Structure 1
Amino acid sequence: MDFLEPDKTLIYQRCVLASLGDPETARLLDKRQGATRDAVRERMYTSTYVAVATSRCGVEAQTEFNKALADSADLKNKHRAAASETEWNWWAACLLVLFPSIVMLAIGGLLALAVAAAVAAGVLFTLFWRGSAAWFNLRQSLVAAFWGAAWLAQRVELGVCAAQWGEVLEEQGTRPVVAQVVRQMLGDDPDSLFIPGNYEGLRALRAPGYFVDNEALQQLQRKVAHIEYGTIAICGPRGTGKSTLLERCVDAADFGVLAQVPATYTPHDFLLSLSVRLCARYIRAEGYEVPEFTRLSNVRRMLRRVMSRVWRVGRWGAFALPSTALVVWGLSASARSLYSQDADSIADFTRTHVTLLRDHSVQTWQGHAAIASVLAVLAGLAWWRSRHSSWLPSLLGGIWAIASTPVGMVLAFGSIGSIVLDKQVQQQVRHIQLETMISAGLLMVVWVYCLRFRDSGRMLHSRWRIALETIFGPLAFVSGIILLVYLVRNPQTYPILADSENPLRLAGAIGGVLLARAGGWHPRPKESELVTRCRNHLFRLQTIQTSSNALSTNTSQLLSLVTSHTTSVSTVPPNFPELVEEFRDLLGRIAKKKAAQNRAVVIAIDELDRLGSAAQALAFLSEIKAILGVPHVYFLISVAEDVGASFVRRGLPHRDVTDSSLDDIIHVQPSTLKDSRAILNKRCDTLTDPYVVLAHSLSGGVLRDLLRYGLQIREMQEKAQSFELTDISRHVILDELSETLAGFRTLLSKQQWTRDTSGVLGAFRTLGGYLREPCPCTFFDLQLALEQFAFYAAGDRPGPIAHHELGDDARQLIDEASAYAYFSLTLLDIFSAQGLERRTQRAAEQGPDGDPERLAEARQELGISPYSARPLIDSIRKAWSLPLGPSASNHRPRSRAVSCPLHPQPIGRPRTPGHG
Structure 2
Amino acid sequence: MTGEPSDPHSIEERDLDDFDSWTAQAALASLIDETLGSPEVIRLLARESLRTEVVREKLVANETLLAKIRTLQDQVMAEGDRGFRPRNRAVSAREVLWLLVAVLLGLAYLSLMTAAWDPLPVFLRIFAGLMVPCVLFATGALAVRKVTALREWINPDSMQFHEEQFGLGPRRSFAAREIILPEVRDVISAHRQLHFGTTLVFEQQYDLGEEDSSRIVPTAAAKRIRRVLERAGSGAVALGGQRGSGKTTAIRSMQRGLLHGSENPAPLVVVASAPATYDARDFVLHLHKLLCQAVLERIGQVLGPGTSWRWRTHQALRGLTDLVLSAALGWAIGGVLWNGKFTQFPVELWQTLAKVQFPDLLGPLWTNQPVGNRIALAAVAVLALRWVWKLLAAATGALLILLRRKSSEIPRALQAEARRQLLRIQYLLTYTTGWSGKLAVPAGGELGRTRTTQRAEQQLTHPEVVDEFRAFAQLTAEVLREEGITDRVVVAIDELDKIGEQDKAQQLVNDIKGIFGVPGCLYFVAVSDDAVLSFEQRGLAVRDAFDSAFSEVVRLESFTLDESRLWLAQRLPGVPEQFCYLAHCLSGGLPRDLRRTTIDMVDVTIEHYEPSLSTVTAILVCTDLGLKTSGFTAQARGLAQTPELAELWPKLLRIPDTREASALAELAAELHEDATPDLADPVNRLCLHSSAFVLFCATVLDVFTDALTQARLTPSLHELAVARRRLALDPHLAWATLTDFRKAHDLRLPAS
- Whether the TM-score (by the shorter chain) exceeds 0.5 is yes
Report the CA distance between 1:626 and its aligned residue: 0.2
1:267 and 1:624 in contact (8 A); partners too: yes
Q: 1:716 to 1:514 in 2, by over 3 A?
A: closer
Q: 1:566 is matched with which residue: 452, 457, 464?
A: 452
Correspondence 1:188-267 to 2 at 5 A: 191-195=197-201, 198-199=204-205, 201-202=207-208, 204-252=209-257, 253-267=266-280
| Cα distance in structure 2, aligned partners of 1:520 and 1:555 | 58
Give the structure-2-normalised TM-score.
0.61
- Structure-2 residue corresponding to 1:532: 416
| Cα distance in structure 2, aligned partners of 1:720 and 1:515 | 63
One-letter code aligned to 1:251: R
Asked if 1:830 corresponds to 2:703, the answer is: yes
1:240 and 1:668 in contact (8 A); partners too: yes
Asked if 1:694 corresponds to 2:582, the answer is: yes
Deviations 1:143-177 (A, max 9, x none): xxxxxxxxxxxxxxxxxxxxxxxxxxxxxxxxxxx
Asked if 1:790 corresponds to 2:678, the answer is: no
Deviations 1:59-90 (A, max 9, x none): xxxxxxxxxxxxxxxxxxxxxxxxxxxxxxxx
SS of equivalent residue, structure 2 residue 244: coil
Report the CA distance between 1:226 and its aligned residue: 3.0
One-letter code aligned to 1:606: D
Deviations 1:295-350 (A, max 9, x none): xxxxxxxxxx999987765443334579899999999999999xxxxxxxxxxxxx
Structure 2, unpaired ranges of 5+? 1-194, 258-265, 332-345
- Structure-2 residue corresponding to 1:815: 688
Correspondence 1:499-538 to 2 at 5 A: 520-522=400-402, 525=405, 528-538=412-422
2:245 and 2:590 in contact (8 A); partners too: yes
| Cα distance in structure 1, aligned partners of 2:212 and 2:583 | 20
- Structure-2 residue corresponding to 1:677: 565
Q: 1:622 to 1:804 in 2, by over 3 A?
A: closer
| Cα distance in structure 1, aligned partners of 2:272 and 2:617 | 40
Q: 1:331 to 1:679 in 2, by over 3 A?
A: same
1:601 and 1:632 in contact (8 A); partners too: yes
2:629 and 2:653 in contact (8 A); partners too: no
Aligned length: 520
- Structure-2 residue corresponding to 1:582: 468
Report the CA distance between 1:545 and its aligned residue: 1.6
Q: 2:716 is matched with which residue: 844, 851, 856?
A: 851
Asked if 1:548 corresponds to 2:438, the answer is: no
| Cα distance in structure 2, aligned partners of 1:816 and 1:322 | 75
Report the CA distance between 1:624 and its aligned residue: 0.6
Q: 1:704 is matched with which residue: 583, 592, 606?
A: 592
- Structure-2 residue corresponding to 1:875: 740
Correspondence 1:378-457 to 2 at 5 A: 419=358, 422=359
| Cα distance in structure 2, aligned partners of 1:319 and 1:820 | 70
| Cα distance in structure 2, aligned partners of 1:261 and 1:792 | 45
Report the CA distance between 1:873 and its aligned residue: 1.3
Report the CA distance between 1:648 and its aligned residue: 1.0
| Cα distance in structure 2, aligned partners of 1:704 and 1:329 | 73
2:561 and 2:584 in contact (8 A); partners too: yes
| Cα distance in structure 1, aligned partners of 2:666 and 2:492 | 50
Correspondence 1:519-668 to 2 at 5 A: 520-522=400-402, 525=405, 528-556=412-440, 558-596=444-482, 597=484, 599-668=487-556
One-letter code aligned to 1:539: L
Report the CA distance between 1:671 and its aligned residue: 0.6
One-letter code aligned to 1:837: T
Report the CA distance between 1:531 and its aligned residue: 2.3
| Cα distance in structure 2, aligned partners of 1:544 and 1:585 | 20
One-letter code aligned to 2:707: G
| Cα distance in structure 1, aligned partners of 2:349 and 2:751 | 102
SS of equivalent residue, structure 2 residue 709: helix
1:603 and 1:635 in contact (8 A); partners too: yes
One-letter code aligned to 2:671: A
Give the structure-1-normalised TM-score.
0.51
Deviations 1:775-799 (A, max 9, x none): xxxx5xx843x223312433xx4xx
| Cα distance in structure 2, aligned partners of 1:273 and 1:554 | 48
2:235 and 2:517 in contact (8 A); partners too: yes
| Cα distance in structure 1, aligned partners of 2:463 and 2:617 | 58
| Cα distance in structure 2, aligned partners of 1:485 and 1:641 | 72
Asked if 1:318 corresponds to 2:318, the answer is: no
Q: 1:320 to 1:666 in 2, by over 3 A?
A: same
Report the CA distance between 1:425 and its aligned residue: 7.2
Identical positions, percent = 25
| Cα distance in structure 1, aligned partners of 2:388 and 2:282 | 63
- Structure-2 residue corresponding to 1:395: none
Q: 1:627 to 1:334 in 2, by over 3 A?
A: farther
One-letter code aligned to 2:321: A
| Cα distance in structure 2, aligned partners of 1:573 and 1:329 | 70
Q: 1:537 to 1:508 in 2, by over 3 A?
A: closer
Q: 1:884 is matched with which residue: 724, 749, 752?
A: 749
1:722 and 1:728 in contact (8 A); partners too: no
Q: 1:511 to 1:225 in 2, by over 3 A?
A: closer
1:201 and 1:684 in contact (8 A); partners too: no
Deviations 1:578-620 (A, max 9, x none): 1100000000011112232262221111111111122221111
| Cα distance in structure 2, aligned partners of 1:791 and 1:595 | 65
Report the CA distance between 1:562 and its aligned residue: 2.1
| RMSD (CA atoms) | 4.4
2:244 and 2:592 in contact (8 A); partners too: yes
2:207 and 2:213 in contact (8 A); partners too: no
Deviations 1:429-488 (A, max 9, x none): 9xx9xxx99xx9xx9xxxxxxxxxxxxxxxxxxxxxxxxxxxxxxxxxx9983784999x
